[in-house]
Amino acid sequence: MKNPVTVASGTFGYGEEFDRYFDVSLLGAVTTKSISLKPRAGNKPPRLVETPAGLLNAIGLQNVGIDRFLSQKAPYLRTRNATIIANIYGHSPEEYAELARRLEAEGAADAIEANLSCPNVHDARTAKGAVLVSQSCEAITVYTQAIRDATRLPLYIKLTPNVMNIQEPALAAEAAGADGVCLINTLLGMAINPETRKPRLANIVGGLSGPAIRPVAVKMVWDAARVLRIPIIGTGGISGAASAIEFLLAGATAVSVGSMSFRRPDTALRVVEGIAEYLKRHQIADVNQLIGAMQA
Amino acid sequence: MRYIQDCEIVAHDLVAPKHWRMRLRSEDIARAAQPGQFCMVEVVETLYPFLRRPMCFSEIHDDGFTLLYKVEGEGTQLLSQRVPGQTCSIQGPLGNGFPIAPELERHVIVSGGIGVAAFPALARALAETCGRPPEVILAARTRELLLCADLFRSLGCTVHLATDDGSAGEKAYAARMLERLGPGPGTLVYACGPMIMMSTTAAVAARAGASCLVSLEAQMACGDGACLGCVVESKVEHEGEKMVRVCVDGPVFDAALIDWEAHNTAYDL
């Protein structure tokens, strides 16, 4: 990556949606919406609720599927010279492995990010009754190894924060051969309309993102960084360079801008520029000097 | 071309209880905007409320545009406190506007409540390009919420008023008024308002063999097709998708494309 800034899966479409606002090749990478083997229609609406300094979503991984990703979306990103982190979602370790294999074979990704943590789908085959794959260390091991065996591309595992201790799933991913982890996916949440007594999301529960979750995400990055040897992509409520730098100081090697791209599509580019300005102002030669550099 | 610009608020007036008209300056956005398109309005500079609010261009001027909105929640409440001289960040124009089809013999606008915001710019464009101004059915709950009637009349439109409580015009729903006007196969109906009003209007138009376009509203995070939050169910696949996005596939849709039943169930109407 030419800089440590990407975008969080699901908040930037396939890159083309926002590339009319700025040159997406200026980002360290574009991380795509989760791609599955077959197209998915996603959940019924309503799918979004705004909450204090954030939003709840239950999109349900609506996506075009791998065939259209390979024939349309990836080639477009390539014409824009973007570095591609392809986020993948499957129903089994074999499906994840097949997605990774096909992406590598077609040259459609520079890295893989496996979404083992979407809170809004009900069909994940999980171990020991866990709701999400990444709530079970055994499942993380099985899934990560399957993808690892299928590809030589850099492999990142995106983990859920909805666990007792983030260090355990992070260590499981590392031990199973991941090149890095992405922390954090959304926090489970819900909202109810008091007038109608109905849930505000058709899916009832959703994933909370936005600045509201940032302190939780920073803490989880800090927790994981103290035990991992592999890099962390930190994400959760980054709204500008200052909050991105928080994640680096907590121990992230790179960051991804999430929901804030909805508010301002060029936020990720502003983070790239803002980090450069910060380094200059603090006379720091290399951004890597910031990683884990919190002074407690 | 799309812009994100800090636009100066030129005027901001309360035009009815909870209803505001805000005029903003931006030659770039005005030049690019089409009737029926919308913009994303940043209601505050801080991060709470977090998302922009989607609002259609009510009027498009040489040097800017006018928004007409109703205070519904915290975001619009905060927006209503902005005063002329301040700036407001606007992203747009976004979405697909109304197609202008001068070859059709009759154009009928059906407006319900704050849905009227979608129509002054359209009425002007139709009046200028179609040789004769459109007919307008202007419906609202009560008299004081019938907005823009004089504006439509100044464009030469025949305006048919209707209120739910009979305080002005006919005591009738908008779809019933349309039925009385007798639309036919050469008629194009444009509808914007509450979902139930649009679905009944679409049904009246369909029975009469008239075409009907609707301008939909939805909760929306980005306005650019990325978040997939603003989808509605379609009766037919659109580019291989059953879910269509209000922001980039719309907000103007052929009413025949929308699965009204699914939508009304989803939103408990």
**Are B2 and A262 in contact (CB < 8 Å)?**
no
- Return all residues near B5 (Cβ < 8 A) that are at least 6 apart: B26, B28, B29, B89, B90
Residues B49 and B127 in one domain: no
Domain boundary among B94, B129, B159: B94
Q: What is the C-alpha to C-alpha distance for residues B52 and B32, in angstroms, rounded to an integer?
A: 20
B222 touches chain A (CB under 8 A): yes
What pLDDT sits at residue B269?
A: 41
Percentage of chain A surpassing pLDDT 70?
A: 96
Residue A234, strand partner residues: A183, A255
CATH number at residue B173: 3.40.50.80
Domain boundary among B33, B62, B94: B94
For residues B231-238, average pLDDT: 85
Residue of B53, B72, B231, B244 to mutate when probing chain A, most A C-beta within 10 A: B231
Q: Which helix (H) or strand (E) holds B253?
A: strand B252-254
Residues B190 and B113 in one domain: yes
Kindly tell me if the per-residue pLDDT of A208 is higher than 70.
yes
- Residue B222: phi and psi, rounded to 5, are -110, -35
Residues B23, B66 contacting (CB under 8 angstroms): yes
**Are A262 and B226 in contact (CB < 8 Å)?**
yes
Q: Is residue B31 situated within a structural domain?
A: yes
- Whether A118 is catalytic is yes
What's the pLDDT tens digit per position in A265-291?
999 999 999 999 999 999 999 999 999
Residues B141 and B19 in one domain: no
What's the pLDDT tens digit per position in B42-58?
999 999 999 999 999 99
What pLDDT sits at residue B209?
A: 96
Residues B156 and B88 in one domain: no
Domain boundary among B31, B63, B94: B94
A22 touches chain B (CB under 8 A): no
CATH number at residue B57: 2.40.30.10
Q: Which domain holds residue B196?
A: 106-216+251-266
Q: Is residue B238 situated within a structural domain?
A: no
Q: What is the C-alpha to C-alpha distance for residues B14 and B26, in angstroms, rounded to an integer?
A: 22
Kindly tell me if the per-residue pLDDT of B236 is higher than 90.
no
**Are B91 and A265 in contact (CB < 8 Å)?**
yes
Helix (H, G, I), strand (E, B) or coil at B196: helix
Q: Which of A49, A82, A118, A212 is catalytic?
A: A118
Structurally, how many domains does chain B consist of?
2
B249 touches chain A (CB under 8 A): no
Cis before A154? omega within 30: no
What pLDDT sits at residue A127?
A: 44
Kindly tell me if the per-residue pLDDT of A120 is higher than 90.
no
Mean pLDDT score across all residues of chain A: 94
For residues A37-61, average pLDDT: 94
Q: What is the C-alpha to C-alpha distance for residues A27 and A48, in angstroms, rounded to an integer?
A: 27
Question: Architecture of domain A5-42+60-186+213-290 in CATH?
Answer: Alpha-Beta Barrel (3.20)
Kindly tell me if the per-residue pLDDT of A124 is higher than 60.
no
Residues B141 and B255 in one domain: yes
Residues B143 and B259 in one domain: yes
What pLDDT sits at residue B6?
A: 98
Residues B51 and B119 in one domain: no
Kindly tell me if the per-residue pLDDT of A2 is higher than 70.
yes
Residues B20 and B131 in one domain: no
Q: Is residue B37 situated within a structural domain?
A: yes
For residues A242-249, average pLDDT: 98
A199 touches chain B (CB under 8 A): no
Distance from the Cα of A159 to chain B's closest Cα (Å) equals: 20
DSSP secondary structure, A18-74, as one string: TTTTS-GGGSS-EEPPPB-SS-B--PPSP-EEEETTEEEE-----B-HHHHIIIIIH
Kindly tell me if the per-residue pLDDT of A125 is higher than 60.
no
- Residue B32: phi and psi, rounded to 5, are -85, -20
**Are A48 and B242 in contact (CB < 8 Å)?**
no
Residues B27 and B136 in one domain: no
Residues B42 and B75 in one domain: yes
Q: Which helix (H) or strand (E) holds B65?
A: strand B64-70
Chain A residues with beta carbon closer than 8 angstroms to that of B220 = 48
Residues B17 and B81 in one domain: yes
User: Residue B43: closest CA among chain A residues belongs to which residue?
Assistant: A263
Kindly tell me if the per-residue pLDDT of A134 is higher than 90.
no
What's the pLDDT tens digit per position in B61-88?
999 999 999 999 999 999 999 999 999 9
For residues A131-156, average pLDDT: 94
What pLDDT sits at residue A132?
A: 85
Look up the ipTM and state it. 0.93
Q: What is the C-alpha to C-alpha distance for residues B188 and B163, in angstroms, rounded to an integer?
A: 23
Task: Please report the beta strands in chain A, taking only residues with DSSP state E, as ranges in sequence order.
Answer: 5-7, 30-31, 48-51, 54-57, 84-88, 111-115, 155-158, 180-183, 187-190, 192-193, 198-199, 205-209, 232-235, 254-257
Half-sphere exposure of A157 (CA within 13 A, CB side): 33
Q: Is residue B25 situated within a structural domain?
A: yes
Q: Is residue B234 situated within a structural domain?
A: no
For residues B137-162, average pLDDT: 97
Residues B110 and B48 in one domain: no
